[in-house]
């Protein structure tokens, strides 16, 4: 069985709930970045999640502990990202934190997997989107909470396929 680690940052609990659902699908426990150590970044598949705050910023705990990701050896490692945002209230920075995590992981040599289509979303801009694809799983519990579980389920199946 592959070693899967999920590390998340959550302020209101929505990202924590998504991380727990993803973790349950892999039979593992998610780790809050506030309690994470360098060891938590060593995995066959590393899944990173953050909500977006302010004007497209990382969640506070991620911002405080981003050095763990910036120092992780991810060369050739599979990394997937997920993010939560508000595509109505913050349409121009929707899930930007997910894009920040993806870029930092790629800068450390990671192989990014789990891109999803941006079709059907109501945002206007996101650093997490390129060529109509999100770099990972974009969730909006503020406006589309009824889609969260099905989006997570489909995404997890894609990630499991990459693991073989």
For residue 155 the two structure tokens come to 């995404």
- Model confidence pLDDT, tens digit, residues 116-151: 999 999 999 999 999 999 999 999 999 999 999 999
Determine the Cα–Cα distance for residues 93 and 107; give it in Å rounded to an integer. 21
For residue 84 the two structure tokens come to 């939560």
- Model confidence pLDDT, tens digit, residues 82-110: 999 999 999 999 999 999 999 999 999 99
Answer whether 122's CB lies under 8 Å from 144's CB: no
- Model confidence pLDDT, tens digit, residues 34-85: 999 999 999 999 999 999 998 899 999 999 999 999 999 999 999 999 999 9
Answer whether 20's CB lies under 8 Å from 7's CB: no
pTM of the model: 0.96
Domains of the chain: 4-163 (3.40.50.360)
Beta bridge partners of 133: 117, 130
């Amino acid at each position: 069985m592959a070693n899967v680690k999920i590390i998340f940052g959550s302020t209101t609990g929505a990202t924590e709930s998504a991380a727990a659902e993803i973790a349950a699908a892999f039979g593992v426990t998610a780790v809050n970045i506030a309690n994470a150590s360098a060891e938590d970044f060593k995995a066959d598949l590393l899944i990173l999640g953050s909500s977006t705050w302010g004007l497209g910023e990382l969640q506070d705990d991620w911002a405080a502990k981003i050095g763990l990701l910036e120092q992780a050896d991810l060369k050739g490692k599979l990394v997937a990202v997920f993010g939560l945002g508000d595509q109505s209230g913050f349409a121009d920075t929707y899930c930007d934190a997910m894009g920040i995590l993806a870029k930092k992981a790629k800068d450390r040599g990671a192989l990014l997997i789990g891109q999803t289509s941006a079709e059907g979303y109501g945002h206007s801009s996101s650093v997490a989107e390129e060529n109509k694809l999100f770099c990972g799983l974009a969730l909006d519990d503020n406006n589309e909470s009824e889609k969260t579980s099905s989006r997570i389920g489909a995404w997890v199946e894609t990630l499991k396929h990459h693991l073989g």
